[in-house]
A and B are shown apart, each in its own frame.
Chain A
Amino acid sequence: MSAVTIPEPEPQHPRDNYLNAGYGIRSWLLTRDHKRIALLYLGSITFFFFLGGLFALLIRLELLTPAGDLVQSETYNKLFTMHGVIMVFFFLIPSIPAVLGNFLIPMMIGAKDLAFPRLNLLSWYVYMAGAFFTLWAVVHGGVDTGWTFYTPYSTASSNTNVIAAAVGIFITGFSSILTGLNFIVTIHTMRAPGLTWFRLPLFVWGHYATSLIFVLGTPVIAVTLLMVFAERVFHLGIFDPALGGDPILFQHLFWFYSHPAVYIMILPAMGVVSEIVTTFSRKNIFGYRFVAFASIAIAVLGFLVWGHHMFVSGQSVYAGLVFSVLSFLVAIPSAVKVFNWTATMYKGSISWRTPMLYAFGFIGLFTIGGLTGLFLASLGVNVHVHDTYFIIAHFHYIMVGGAIMGYLGGIHYWWPKISGKLYPEGLARFSALVVFLGFNLTFFPQFILGYLGMPRRYHAYPPEFQVLNVLSTAGASVLGVGYLLPMIYLVWSMRYGRNAPANPWGSTGLEWKTSSPPPKDNFDVPPVVTEDPYTYSHEEVERLG
Chain B
Amino acid sequence: MAETSTAKAHASAAHGLQHQFDSLGQQKDASTLGMWVFLVTEILFFGGLFLAYTIYRWQYARGFALASHHMDILLGTVNTAVLICSSLTMAMAVHSAALGRRKPLMGFLVATMLLGAAFLGIKAVEYTEHIRHHLFPGPGFHYPGPDARSAEIFFSLYFAMTGLHALHMIIGIGLLSVLFVLARRGRFIPEYYSPVEICGLYWHFVDIVWIFLFPLLYLIGRHLK
Contact = CB atoms under 8 A, between A and B. Distances in A.
Q: Judge A-B direct contact (beta carbons within 8 Å).
A: yes
Interface of A: 106, 111-117, 177, 181-182, 184-186, 188-190, 215-220, 222-224, 226-227, 230, 234-238, 243-246, 249, 252-253, 521, 526
A219 B42 contact: yes
A243 B152 contact: yes
B62 to A, nearest CB: 13
Contact of B48 (A113, A116, A184, A220): A220
A526 B20 CA distance: 11
A246 B45 CA distance: 20
7 tightest Cβ-Cβ pairs between the two chains A and B: A235-B138, A223-B48, A219-B45, A236-B156, A113-B20, A219-B44, A244-B149
A184 B20 contact: no
Interface of B: 18-22, 26, 29-30, 33-34, 37-38, 40-42, 44-49, 51-52, 55-56, 59-60, 137-139, 149-150, 152-153, 156-157, 159-160, 164
A177 B41 contact: yes
Given A188-B33, A189-B29, A227 B44 contact: no
A172 to B, nearest CB: 15
Given A237-B152, A243-B149, A526-B22, 12 more contacts: A117-B18, A182-B34, A188-B33, A189-B30, A215-B37, A215-B40, A220-B45, A236-B160, A243-B156, A245-B153, A246-B59, A249-B52
9 contacts: A106-B20, A177-B41, A188-B33, A215-B37, A227-B48, A234-B137, A235-B137, A243-B156, A245-B153
Given A189-B29, A235-B139, A249-B52, A219 B160 contact: no
Contacts of B48: 219-220, 223-224, 227, 253
Central interface residue in A182, A189, A521, by most chain B CB within 10 Å: A189
Contacts of A188: 30, 33
A112 B38 contact: no
Contacts of A115: 20-21, 30, 34
A183 to B, nearest CB: 10
A238 B149 contact: no
A236 B139 contact: no
A442 B184 CA distance: 64
B160 A230 contact: yes
Contacts of A223: 45-49, 164
Given A243-B153, A244-B60, A215 B19 contact: no
A227 B52 contact: yes
A224 B51 CA distance: 11
Contacts of B156: 230, 236-238, 243
Central interface residue in B29, B34, B41, by most chain A CB within 10 Å: B41
A245 B53 CA distance: 11
Given A111-B20, A190-B20, A220-B45, A234 B34 contact: no
A106 B30 CA distance: 14
A190 B26 contact: yes
A236 B139 CA distance: 10
Contacts of B22: 526
B37 A189 contact: no
A218 B59 CA distance: 27
Nearest to A234: B138
Contacts of A186: 30
Contacts of B138: 234-236
Contacts of B26: 189-190
Central interface residue in B29, B44, B49, B150, by most chain A CB within 10 Å: B44
Nearest to A119: B34
Nearest to A188: B33
A238 B44 contact: no
Contacts of A249: 51-52, 55
Contacts of A181: 34, 37-38, 41
A234 B47 CA distance: 21
A112 B29 CA distance: 17
B34 A116 contact: yes
A243 B160 CA distance: 16
A184 B30 contact: no
Nearest to A216: B44
Contacts of B46: 223
Contacts of A106: 20
A188 B49 CA distance: 31
A26 B201 CA distance: 34
A219 B21 CA distance: 29
B34 A112 contact: no
Contacts of B30: 115-116, 185-186, 188-190
Contact of B33 (A114, A189, A237): A189
Nearest to B159: A236
B106 to A, nearest CB: 25
A114 to B, nearest CB: 7
Nearest to A252: B51
Contacts of A117: 18, 20
A185 B52 contact: no
Contacts of B47: 219-220, 223
A197 to B, nearest CB: 15
Nearest to A236: B156
B116 to A, nearest CB: 22
A222 B37 CA distance: 17
Contacts of A114: 20
A184 B37 contact: yes
A237 B34 contact: no
Contacts of B20: 106, 111-115, 117, 190
B98 to A, nearest CB: 21
B167 to A, nearest CB: 10
Contacts of A215: 37, 40-41
A533 B52 CA distance: 46
Contacts of A220: 44-45, 47-48
B41 A238 contact: no
B34 A222 contact: no
A246 B48 CA distance: 14
Contacts of A185: 30, 33-34, 37
B142 to A, nearest CB: 14
A219 B157 CA distance: 18
A237 to B, nearest CB: 6
B19 A112 contact: yes
Contacts of B55: 246, 249
A523 to B, nearest CB: 11
B153 to A, nearest CB: 6
Nearest to A117: B20
Nearest to A184: B37
